[in-house]
Structure 1
Amino acid sequence: MRQFFSALAKALACLLLLASAVAEATTVKVFYDVGWGNRIALRGSKAPLNWNTGVNATWSTGNVWTYTWADSVGDVELKPLINDATWSVGANYVVKAGTTVSIYPFFQSRAGTLVKVANFSSPQLGNTRTLRIYLPPSYSLNPLKRYPVLYMHDGQNLFEASTAFGGVEWQVDETANALINNGQMDEVIVVGIDNGGANRIYEYTPCCDPQYSGGGANVYERFMLDTVKPYIDQNYRTLTGNKNTALMGSSLGGLVSTYIGRRNPGVFSKLGGLSSSFWWNNQMLPKEVEAATAKVAVNHYIDAGTSSDGLTETTRMRDALVVDGYVQGKDLYYYVAQGAGHNEAAWAARLSIPLKYLFPWQSTVY
């Protein structure tokens, strides 16, 4: 009997050691179909990895390649390679000790693609428009991957000079391609929603400015939430949660982004407003933030130029957000564009700033 309990104690001790080892395992999972006969290897900054020779990851069903090491190694920078020869595109991945990190790489430096959905109907607004959808570089290369989504207003102005106001586009696709391939931002799907033409002021504004009237933002909100977002989530490989969903625009588009986003933090967690029209209706939106009794759980990017671009009102909004508890560089990024005016060229010139802030490299929540 004594021998039995001794053996049982040893067995339990082994199980505890095994459980401890599992609990103290740092793991990376690489999701990529390399094709028959190929493999994923990893190179990295600390042993058991190094930057000279790759270590093979272990394949499992679903084309998941896994590699594990002890927590005691500490934080590790690494990159996956195909057959220890072809490096993944972008920056190094950081794997913090004690975590399990999922990576969805791609291995060819390339541009994203633009898809257009013409005559997209809005039952809420009683009209149609075009959706212009930027699919990031890996979309066709890694079908295992799902993506955050950035919804942007004034879609005509974002991608093509031929449809942009004054013939000047934002160059959203070119800027995103460069930032993604350089490892400065995560891959995202960008959905450009064309404005309603003559109805633009109505659609992009809460009620009601003494001079311009407006007041259709709540209806436009329902169009976005009940029609546009469900369509995108059903037809593209999106990450649907609020942590991976952002809203951005300029001028009245910045106003409506802030208005809708703060009303729907369960849908959007990231808001971008370039040269936002915070003057609207005697600065109603900054006043609402000043009167708020609770902080809204969204990250704000707001900016303005110094040349007739609403800097005073934007600064007032910044100050109101700071009083509510937002912190510059954390959940708030306030930027002053020296010499910049209120136009597409100015917004294109600084677009990289909000993109890197809203979707920094390795920030996607899978």
Structure 2
Amino acid sequence: MKYLIAIILFTCCSSGLKAQYTVRIVVSSIAAKPRDEIFIAGDFNEWNPADTKLKLKPFGGNRCIIVMNIDTGHHEFKFTRGSWDKVETTAKGEDIDNRMADIKGDTTIDITIAGWKDDAPEKPRPNTASVNVHIIDTAFLMPQLNRYRRIWIYLPPSYNKLKTNTYPVLYMQDGQNLFSEQTAFSNEWGIDESLDSMAKNGNKECIVVGIDNCGDKRMNEYNPYNDAKYGKGEAKLYIDFLAITLKPFIDKNYRTQKEMLHTFIAGSSMGALVSLYALVQYPEVFGGAGIFSPDFSIMPQLYTDVANVKWQQKFRIYLYAGEKETASMVRDMQKMYNIIKEKNCCNMQDVIFPLGQHNEKYWRQEFPDFY
């Protein structure tokens, strides 16, 4: 019997299983708007603001409760009433930082929700995009998915001055979060300010194309694989759109360096995973990727696809994760780093930031080093 128990323990440890604990979150005081259901959104459900499996239940009086099984480690979350337009705020309607919890055992957390975003007086958010940012189209056709999408473009400061110059191109996911506070989910990356500043310091310039995410279809478009929770994976069609439809349009209408060695792709979270998947599907199109905060536990099959792909080119890949993100993110990212490294075909860098959390503030800080 002791021998059998030892084998079981060894198997669990060596397979990298993560401990899970029961977390009870009691919201003991809730601001107005009782007519709506309340949800919890966090790094444990890819920040889905209306996840029916994570809906709070009445708990007597004005209280409500949710009980979840969560992996050990650091987690971030917020409460919503079904959308980010109805996310929790301070009593004055001001944005709050993500709530944080370090889960090391069964835990009960007591919380007060002071206000809701849609209760606060409307304060128009400023358009912080620089003069070098333009909207190509608010409804660009994606024939592969039969959808339409807003497409952004950043043109370098020298673009309209040096009429014969051509430029490399970086394609980035979650376009609404790249350039302007007005459209960003939380905060923007500040891609335009960052590149403008680096151009002044003599760095090579590039074009950036931002593709908005689809909101409720984001988890589908950025996932190659069917998922029991979110449904059909559509990333193959999404990447087909980038490679077959969008890139030829950009190359035709702008002065680009069209070759694979000058074409890059990047994103964060699910956008990071689909960016790496683009190298698997179109290694002849994309020459490098910026992979910011990828949660490979969402799509472990990507390990196999990357291991099996036959890459002939010399890619450039930048992997970044923060230690204050999900418990397994750093470990899982290092596993992918080792898989790619064994292929001996990439110039790679992996960065682990001890204070890094899962949000645009930290991706903004990291972008210049990636660039």
Q: Same fold (TM over 0.5)?
A: yes
Aligned to 1:181: 200
1:286 maps to 303
Offset from partner CA, 1:338-359 (integer Å, 9 cap, x none): 211111111112111111xxxx
1:315 maps to what in 2? 334
TM-score by length of 1: 0.62
The alpha-carbon deviation at position 211 of structure 1 amounts to 3.3
| Pairing 1:118-157 to 2, within 5 Å after superposition | 118-157=138-177
- Residue 293 to residue 138, structure 1, CA distance change in 2 (3 Å): closer
Give the SS at the match of 2:213.
Answer: coil
- Give the match for residue 251 of structure 1: 269
How far apart in 1 are the matches of 2:170 and 2:217?
Answer: 23
Amino acid at match of 2:370: P
Pair 1:349 & 2:365 matched: yes
Please state how far the C-alpha of 1:191 moved relative to its aligned partner. 0.2
**Is contact 1:205-1:217 (8 Å) kept?**
yes
Question: Is 212-221 or 268-277 further displaced after alignment?
Answer: 212-221
1:336 correspondence with 2:352? yes
2-structure distance, mates of 1:230, 1:352: 27
For the Cα contact (< 8 Å) 2:222–2:274, is it kept in 1?
A: yes
Q: Check the 8 A contact 1:295/1:325 in 2, yes or no.
A: no
Q: What is the aligned partner in structure 2 of residue 68 from structure 1?
A: none
Counting only pairs closer than 5 Å after superposition, residues 157-168 of structure 1 correspond to structure 2 as 157-166=177-186, 168=187
Q: Is the 8 A contact 2:292 2:363 kept in 1?
A: yes
Counterpart AA for 2:226:
C
Separation in 1, partners of 2:241, 2:182:
26
State the 1:225 CA deviation: 1.4
Determine which of 167, 171, 179 is the counterpart of 2:190. 171
Native 8 Å contact 2:321 2:333 kept in 1: yes
Letter in 2 for 1:306: E
Asked which structure has the greater CA Rg, the reply is 1
Which moved further from structure 2: 295-304 or 117-126? 295-304
Q: Provide the C-alpha distance between the structure 1 equivalents of 2:345 and 2:353, rounded to a whole number of angstroms.
A: 21
Measure how far apart 1:303 and its partner are: 1.0
Change in Cα spacing, 1:142 to 1:164, as seen in structure 2 (3 Å) is same
- TM-superposed CA distance for 1:292, in Å, is 5.1
Q: Give the Cα separation in 1 of the matches to 2:310 and 2:181.
A: 44
% identical aligned pairs: 36
In structure 1, how many angstroms separate the alpha carbons of the residues matched to 2:251 and 2:308?
35
Deviation at 1:288, TM superposition (A): 3.0
Give secondary structure in 2 for the equivalent of 1:165.
Answer: coil
Distance 1:294 1:135, change over 3 A: closer
Change (3 A) 1:145 1:112: farther
Q: Name the structure 1 match of 2:320.
A: 303
Alpha-carbon distance in 2 for matches of 1:238, 1:294: 24
Q: Which runs of 5+ in 1 are unaligned?
A: 1-110, 356-366
- Report 1:222-237 matches (<5 A): 222-237=240-255
Aligned equivalents of 1:198, 1:292: Cα separation in 2: 30
What secondary structure is seen at the aligned counterpart in 2 of 1:279? helix
In structure 2, do the counterparts of structure 1 residues 305 and 326 end up closer, same or farther at CA, with 3 Å as the change threshold? farther
Whole-Å separation in 1 of the counterparts to 2:274 and 2:332:
15
What secondary structure sits across from 1:342 in the alignment? coil
Question: Aligned to 1:274, which of 292, 299, 306?
Answer: 292
Query: What SS does structure 1 have at the residue aligned with 2:134?
Result: strand
Compared CA separation, residues 297 and 262, structure 1 to 2 (3 A): farther
How far is the alpha carbon of 1:291 from its aligned partner? 4.6
Amino acid at match of 1:179: M
Q: 1:326: Cα distance to partner?
A: 5.1
- CA distance in 2: counterparts of 1:219 and 1:264, whole angstroms: 12
Gaps of 5+ in 2: 1-129
Task: State the TM-score, normalizing by the size of structure 2.
Answer: 0.61
Deviations 1:160-189 (A, max 9, x none): 0111012x0000000111112112x31100
Task: Go from structure 1 to structure 2 and tell me whether the alpha carbon gap of 1:230 and 1:343 turns closer, same or farther (over 3 Å shift).
Answer: same
Give the whole-Å Cα distance in 2 for the aligned partners of 1:177 and 1:321: 32
Shift of 1:305: 0.4
Matched, 1:263 2:285: no
Q: How many residues align?
A: 239
Tell me the equivalent position of 1:212. 230
CA distance in 1, matches of 2:369, 2:280: 21
Q: Tell whether the 8 Å contact from 2:179 to 2:189 is kept in structure 1 after alignment.
A: yes
Measured against aligned partners, the alpha-carbon deviations of 1:104-156 in whole angstroms (never above 9, x if no partner) come to xxxxxxx7611102211111111111111000010011001011100001000
